[in-house]
Each structure stands twice: as C-alpha cells, then as structure tokens.
Structure 1
Amino acid sequence: MSKGVGGLGVRRLQEFNIALLGKWCWRCLVDREGLWFKVLSSRYGEQRGRLREGGVTGSAWWREIVKIQNGIGVEGGSWFEESISKRLGNGFNTFFWSDCWVGTVSFMERFRRLYDLSIHKDLSVGEMHALGWGEDGEAWRWRRRLLAWEEELVVEIRNLLTNVTLQDTQPDVWLWQPNIGDGYTVRGVYQMLMRQEVHNHDVVSDAPWHKSVPLKVSICAWRLLRNRWPTKDNLVRRGVITNDTQLCVRGCGKNETIDHLIIHCLIFGDLWQRIKTWIGVFSVDPQQVLDHYYQFVYSSGCYNPRRSFLQLIWLCGIWVLSNERNQRLFTNTARTTVQLLENVKITSLKWLKAKNVCFPFGYHMWWQRPFACLGIG
C-alpha cells in the first residue's frame, strides 16, 4: 500500500514540475515580445524563428524546457506544442516559413523545395504580405528559375493563402487551447496531465473493447477517445477544410469538436440525458469525452455486471451518434432525439441477442426494465 501511494506521490510531483516548466515554455518560447525570450535569444541565438537549444553549453534548466516543447522524453509526447495555436493579427510576429500558421505543419516542412529556393527565408507573414504574395508578387523570389513542377507548388501555396486576412491593428497572439479564456496556468496543466495519467490506460486502452459489441464499434470508440474522428476542427488542423466551414453539422452555430459533438450539442448531448432516464442512472455530464465515459460507466459503483452493461450502452450511444452525424453531413437527413434513443434501445438489444441466443426477453421488457432483463440490481 505504501509503495503505491508513494509512487502516486512521486508521479504527482513530476507532473507538477513539468507543468511549472511548461509555464517557462510559454514565457520563453511563445511570448517573443517578452523579456525572457529576448534574454535567451541574446544568449543562445535564434534559428528559423526559434531559440537555439544551446547544446552542451546550455543550462540543464533550458534543455529541459526545450525538451518539453519538442515532446522529447516527456510522457504524453508533445502535449505543449499541440496545445498552443496562433491567432493571426498583422502577421509581424509570425514567421512565414517556419511557424505553423496555416494547417498543422509549417510551410517549411510542407514545401521544403520552395523554402530552400526562397531568398526570403526569415521574413514574417506581415512582411511577405507587404511584398505581395499574388501571382507576380515580390514575395516569390527565388535563387534560380523554377521548374514546371516547382511552379505547381507555388500555385498550391498561393491557393492556401487566398482565404488569409490580416488585421493591421491587431498583433499576433498565441492561444492556450485547453483554456483560451484564462490562458496557461500551472494548476490547469497539472490537472490536465494528471487526468491523462488516470485515464490513459484504464479508459483509452480498455473502454472500446466489450465482448458483446461489434469490432467496428470498438474501433469507432477507440478513435474517438484518441480524438481521431474526422470532426471539422480536426479537418481544419489538417488543412482539409477552411476555418469558416467548421461549424457543427447540427447547425447550432458552434465549432464541431469531439467534446461539443458528444456532450455539448443540443441534439446529441440531449440523447445522453434520455439514455440515463431510460436506464435509471443520473449524473452530471462533465466537459470532456474521457471524463464523460468514466463518469457514465463508474458513477454507479464498481459492480462488474452493472459496469459492463453501462459500458455497452455508452458504446451504443457513441455508435448511434456517429452514424447520425454522418447521415446529417452526407445525406442531409436528420432524426429526432427520441428516434435516436429508440435506435440505442434496438441496437443494444440486438447486440445482446447476437451473443446470447437464449436471451429470453423481447423488446417490450427491454424498453421498460433493461437492468431486470440482465438480472442486475
């Protein structure tokens, strides 16, 4: 017992230290106008718009901060860099080639040949815009004449820039995505890292798999818990669609994210309240999908048959929501929340009957008392 508690205490201390160093990541690596960025820049220099690590001449403190930014040797990978995004203003604090400001990768990585040939490697977005990035703009100046296939890359990059609008009176701003309103806080990051520690194995690894659930449903839930559904915010980050097309498919006016789609959307979120009323389980929905699963399945205790049933119902709800979202998006057809609930009831009963041919109860009993059908109190 003492060993387990001690291990958890050490883990919490490590997460707190990482969160504290993450605060310095924010101040030193993100805030280019801040004092610490200027101090470290004068000490170590800059490379492609970023501070140099310093190698063996750098302090251990500075090397740890760089590791956290790059996700090296830190559990959870590049959680810091994945949690920040740039809101473009006038573009003068964002490097055109080396910063990730359109899509999920920088132009330097996506158009490496053009970057190597460009004579404007270190200019900002605002400076490139001032030079002109139209068809004959001064921004497109190269060390030699481009080949035909290289000209096609220029056309591609210009097409990506057609929807970019700069705001001359507003500076570029870095945003902390988990909490845009309050920004980066040590407490918020510590809680985020500890939540990952609690859920990563118990939930993400075990939640999708249930003996009565079809494999395709488990794969769907597996992708959901890793935020790998093709929601519109994910498609924007990958450069598949533009920012102005990421509204929820339901038409509620909010951006379509995993958490919004499953929990906060007026139609899809209301389905969970109806499901809980049907099975007689009542709890407050949390803000994130991982917490939603954990609370739905474990809030009524750890009695294994009961937990197994709740897990099956949760997976069924996810499957029904996924299909409904795709129907609305691709066929422009929609069902009411009542119809979605009926689909959950029918689908869950079919799954149980497929695995247990001797299951004696029919639709009427399942509709009224699902726990009694399974002999669960």
Structure 2
Amino acid sequence: MGRTIWKEIIKAGKVADNIGTSFTSSITKRIGNGTSISFWHDIWVGSECLKSTFHRLFMLESRKDVTVAERILNVNSTSIGNWDWSRPPSGRAIDELTELNNLLISVNISDRPDSWKFSLDASGIYTTSTMSNLINKLKYDTNSRNLSLPKNKYVPQKIYIFSWRVIQQKIPVRSELDKKGIDLHTILCPLCEHHFETIEHALVNCQKITSIWTQLLDWWNQNNIRISNINEAIISDQGFTHNPIGSSIWQATKWIACYIIWKHRNLKIFSGKIWNPAAIISEIQSQSFSWISNRSRKKTPIEWHQWLLNPSFYASPNRMGIG
C-alpha cells in the first residue's frame, strides 16, 4: 500500500477522533446470544456504549471486560442484570442502576450468534462507498466546526481560545464535569445556587450575571439589544451588522467580558473571593481598553476617558481600521 494511501487513512482516523462517537456509533453489535459482545465497551443497546451512558456504574464494575451473556440473566422471559460490583452503588449510581435495569428489560437474548450492524446503510451491511461518503462528510463537518469562530485581531490568543472553547462546550462547568463522571457535591450554580450550572447559565443567564451584561450594554449604548444566550455573547454581531470594524470591537469586548466573568467565578469557588459586579465591570472596561487600544492603528489612538464614556465612539469605520 502506497504512502499516499496511508496518509489518507491516518487523516480519516484523525477526523473520526475529532468527531468522537459519531463515527463509531455507525457500526454496532446486533445482539444474539451475547457471548461475543462486551457489556460495557461495545454499542449494542441504545446509541452509545454503556460505560459512557452509565459511567458511575462502570467505575463500580469489578470485571470491566465482561460480556453481555455474563451480565444478563433471563428470568421468566425477562432480562435482568447479574451484577458484580466492587462496592454497592450509592447516591446517583443508584439512579443509574434503576435506569439501566429498565433498559435491559427490552433486551432479548437468543440462541443465534451475535452479528454486526452498519446503521448508515439501509441494508445494515458495510460498503466501501458508504464509508467513503461518511469520511468525506466528517472531514467537511470538522473543517466547518474549526472555522465556526473567526479570528479577531483586537484580543490576545488566550481570549480567542477561551471563546472557541465556550462554543465547543468545553468549559468545565459543573454540569459538564458531571457528564464525565466526576462526583461533585452539587451541580448547582455556585453563584445563585438555584439552577444547574451549564455553560450558558454560567456566562449569560445566571441572575448574578445578567446585571453585568445589562451594565455592559448601557456602557456601549446598546440598550436596543439583549445578551440572552451564548450565540449573542460570542458569535452574533448584533448592533453593528453593517459595520465590520464596529462589529469586531464589540465582539472583542464581549469575549473579554465572558473571560473575566469566568475568571471571577473561579476566584469565588477556589479562593473564596466575594462576587463583586462593580469590580467585574471595571475590569472588563480596563482590560478591553488595554487589549483593544494596543491592537488598534497607531494613527487612531484610543483615549481612556472617551472609552470609559462611550466605547462605541471608536467603533466607527472613520475612527479605527483593521491592519
């Protein structure tokens, strides 16, 4: 096999890794007698492997390579679990066990051998043409995802990376940590303690955060718009739709705001710092001034007092340029 072909195989593998389970979930095991199917690692019931769906139970499993036939008993034509835990399930693991037992009721163990199913083809049979089309689609989707957030010259690289991680749902808020099987004492927001802490809640919708966005909009004289979701905080150019320069400066300010809000959230959790909206707004104003002014054209310097009074003054195409 030539070097070029191997390069394509490696590239396809990397694409599949980037997409995650969307590639592997297309090839699933069709349950028969269950002797050749891994109970936890193979996809044989549902849309993903059981170790991902029931990660707390998987951590308690004493034999992680056990087969389906070894973990399921047929009692009076009903499938039930034949468990062997390293310690008895407790807390949320008990809820997972209840859900798993309900899922297993629908499983039918038979005498026929296990088989494979390729869900991307109507026949259920793997073909090279179907796989070729899948790889091309994955390559397109991956490129589209990587290009989903344009560069912004007015912010440092760390702000861009943080903003990209936000839209990729890669910020370690409590709900995301919980999905990865990390046991926390609570997944409620550490600021309001009333709602689950999702990324959108932590950066936009928490009642402790909405006042900051309101003050930010007032500062920019953008009272006709709202920041109510991640798209409006990170991607949307609302307010400067027909002004590319103003859009870039406004977007940079919003990215910096998200970054500083997240920073102060972490300071409250890990350092016990008091949540102070006035201090957060002040830091957003000073940091955005520092980063944006240092990256603007030297012929059009930003004055601190004017920036503090009305930053949208500098969003005019006649005031700043991109270069």
Superposition TM-score, scaled by structure 1 size: 0.52
Q: Provide the residue aligned with 2:160 in structure 1.
A: 218
Q: Provide the residue aligned with 1:250 in structure 2.
A: 191
Q: Are positions 1:107 and 2:48 aligned together?
A: no
CA distance in 2, matches of 1:168, 1:111: 12
Q: Provide the residue aligned with 2:176 in structure 1.
A: 234
Determine which structure has greater relative contact order: mean sequence separation of CA pairs < 8 Å that are 6+ residues apart, divided by chain length: 2
Q: Secondary structure at the match of 1:230?
A: coil
Following superposition, the deviation at residue 53 of structure 1 comes to: 11
Following superposition, the deviation at residue 122 of structure 1 comes to: 1.9
- 1:197-208 correspondence to structure 2 within 5 Å: 205-207=147-149
Following superposition, the deviation at residue 364 of structure 1 comes to: 1.6
Task: Name the aligned partner's letter for residue 103 of structure 1.
Answer: H
Following superposition, the deviation at residue 324 of structure 1 comes to: 1.0
Query: Are residues 233 and 45 of structure 1, via their aligned partners in 2, closer, same or farther at CA, if it must alter by over 3 Å?
Result: same
Q: Secondary structure at the match of 1:350?
A: helix
Task: Name the aligned partner's letter for residue 323 of structure 1.
Answer: K
How far does the alpha carbon of each residue in 1:101-131 deviate from its partner, in whole angstroms, 9 at most, with x for none? Answer: 4338x739x969534389741259x955xx7
CA distance in 1, matches of 2:189, 2:43: 41
Which of 281, 300, 309 aligns to 1:341? It is 281
Query: Are residues 208 and 240 of structure 1, via their aligned partners in 2, closer, same or farther at CA, if it must alter by over 3 Å?
Result: farther
Following superposition, the deviation at residue 362 of structure 1 comes to: 3.1
Query: Are residues 334 and 99 of structure 1, via their aligned partners in 2, closer, same or farther at CA, if it must alter by over 3 Å?
Result: same
Query: Are residues 265 and 53 of structure 1, via their aligned partners in 2, closer, same or farther at CA, if it must alter by over 3 Å?
Result: closer
How far does the alpha carbon of each residue in 1:339-359 deviate from its partner, in whole angstroms, 9 at most, with x for none? Answer: 211111101110023224835
CA distance in 1, matches of 2:43, 2:175: 32
Q: Provide the residue aligned with 1:268 in structure 2.
A: 209
Structure 2 residues without counterparts, runs of 5 or longer:
1-29, 104-140, 319-323
Query: Are residues 353 and 291 of structure 1, via their aligned partners in 2, closer, same or farther at CA, if it must alter by over 3 Å?
Result: closer
Query: Are residues 103 and 306 of structure 1, via their aligned partners in 2, closer, same or farther at CA, if it must alter by over 3 Å?
Result: same
Q: Provide the residue aligned with 1:314 in structure 2.
A: 254
Following superposition, the deviation at residue 335 of structure 1 comes to: 3.4
Aligned alpha-carbon RMSD (Å): 4.4
Query: Are residues 306 and 112 of structure 1, via their aligned partners in 2, closer, same or farther at CA, if it must alter by over 3 Å?
Result: farther
Query: Are residues 257 and 204 of structure 1, via their aligned partners in 2, closer, same or farther at CA, if it must alter by over 3 Å?
Result: farther
Structure 1 residues without counterparts, runs of 5 or longer:
1-40, 55-65, 71-80, 82-96, 132-138, 141-153, 175-198
Identity of aligned residues (%): 17
CA distance in 2, matches of 1:346, 1:171: 52
Q: Provide the residue aligned with 1:135 in structure 2.
A: none
CA distance in 2, matches of 1:257, 1:307: 27
The 8 Å contact of residues 169 and 199 in structure 2, kept in 1 or not, is answered as yes
Query: Are residues 305 and 46 of structure 1, via their aligned partners in 2, closer, same or farther at CA, if it must alter by over 3 Å?
Result: farther
Superposition TM-score, scaled by structure 2 size: 0.60
> Could you say which structure has the higher helix fraction?
1
Q: Secondary structure at the match of 1:245?
A: coil
- 1:1-377 correspondence to structure 2 within 5 Å: 98=50, 100-103=52-55, 107=58, 113-116=63-66, 120-122=70-72, 139-140=83-84, 155=86, 158=87, 161-163=89-91, 164-166=93-95, 205-207=147-149, 209-242=151-184, 244-281=185-222, 282-286=224-228, 288-295=229-236, 297-356=237-296, 358=298, 360-375=301-316
The 8 Å contact of residues 261 and 269 in structure 1, kept in 2 or not, is answered as no
Query: Are residues 248 and 167 of structure 1, via their aligned partners in 2, closer, same or farther at CA, if it must alter by over 3 Å?
Result: closer
CA distance in 2, matches of 1:53, 1:115: 14
Following superposition, the deviation at residue 371 of structure 1 comes to: 2.0
Question: How many residues end up aligned between the 2 structures?
Answer: 243
Following superposition, the deviation at residue 169 of structure 1 comes to: 10
Query: Are residues 360 and 290 of structure 1, via their aligned partners in 2, closer, same or farther at CA, if it must alter by over 3 Å?
Result: closer
